[in-house]
């Protein structure tokens, strides 16, 4: 009988401890939410600056360089920023639109990040080439304003399929979004494979092209 009571007490204690641990876990989960995407982006920018400052101290040639692309090489925080993908596009575009960094280095890095994430190189189009951050902002707006129309025209053109794919590549993830919208993924598998997008990313890109 005593053994049975001990088992009941021990069993009850285990259940009670488990319940308390569960409550603590839930409480911490509510009071310590995951960092917002915007917060994560700002932390990446801080890290980008720190790595650049360290690199400049060690390399005089880098300090003299006016090429912004040199500053994102081997920068783990830049890589981390870009790895967040399409989900941070609205945040980066806001930085450009609000001219948060002017024509400073972080402004150029923001423009480069947008191109890397979308896999679009505006400088391939002579009408969209840019040299300053403000010029990038204007060219980016122009690019997005006409992208859907031009992608539609390419899809429906009489061009050879190989040529179509080559031309569609210039529109990066936006081409994949339009193909998804029109349910043409099977017709252009190369584009879809090059620029895979999930449902949330598609919704972001759809808004971008409106």
Name all contacts of 134-140 with Cβ < 8 Å and 24+ positions apart.
Answer: 134/99, 134/103, 136/96, 136/111, 137/96, 137/97, 137/99, 137/111, 140/93, 140/96, 140/111, 140/114
Confidence at residue 9, expressed as pLDDT on a 0 to 100 scale: 46
Confidence at residue 18, expressed as pLDDT on a 0 to 100 scale: 46
Name all contacts of 37-42 with Cβ < 8 Å and 24+ positions apart.
Answer: 37/84, 37/87, 37/88, 37/91, 38/91, 40/84, 41/81, 41/84, 41/88, 41/91, 41/92
Instruction: Give pLDDT tens digits for 15-55.
Output: 444 444 444 444 444 444 467 999 999 999 999 999 999 98
Please give the mean pLDDT across all residues of the chain: 86
Query: Whole-model pTM?
Result: 0.81
Mean pLDDT of 193-210: 94
Judge whether 175 and 168 are in contact, CB under 8 Å.
Answer: yes
Over its C-alpha atoms, the chain yields an Rg (Å, rounded) of: 25
Please check the confidence at residue 168 and state whether its pLDDT lies above 70.
Answer: yes
Judge whether 32 and 85 are in contact, CB under 8 Å.
Answer: no
Phi (first) and psi of residue 179, to 5 degrees:
-60, -40
Query: Percentage of the chain surpassing pLDDT 90?
Result: 75
Judge whether 60 and 179 are in contact, CB under 8 Å.
Answer: no
Task: Please give the angle made by the CA atoms of 205, 122 and 191, to the nearest 5 degrees.
Answer: 50
């Amino acid at each position: 009988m005593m053994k049975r009571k001990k088992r009941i007490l021990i069993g009850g204690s285990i259940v009670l401890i488990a319940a308390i641990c569960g409550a603590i876990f839930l409480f911490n989960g509510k009071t310590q939410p995951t960092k917002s995407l915007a917060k994560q982006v700002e932390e990446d920018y801080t890290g980008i600056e720190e790595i650049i400052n360290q690199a400049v101290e060690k390399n005089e040639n880098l300090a003299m360089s006016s090429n912004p692309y040199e500053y994102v090489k081997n920068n783990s925080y830049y890589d981390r920023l870009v790895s967040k993908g399409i989900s941070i596009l609205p945040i980066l575009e806001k930085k450009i639109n609000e001219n948060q960094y002017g024509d400073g280095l972080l402004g150029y890095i923001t423009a480069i990040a947008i191109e890397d994430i979308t896999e679009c190189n505006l400088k391939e189009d002579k009408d969209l080439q840019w040299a300053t951050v403000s010029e990038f902002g204007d060219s980016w707006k122009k690019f997005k304003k006409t992208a859907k129309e031009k992608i539609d025209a390419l899809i429906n053109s009489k061009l050879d399929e190989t040529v179509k794919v080559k031309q569609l590549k210039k529109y990066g993830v936006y081409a994949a979004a339009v193909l998804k919208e029109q349910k043409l993924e099977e017709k252009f598998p190369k584009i879809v494979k090059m620029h895979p997008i999930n449902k949330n990313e598609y919704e972001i890109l759809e808004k971008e092209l409106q």
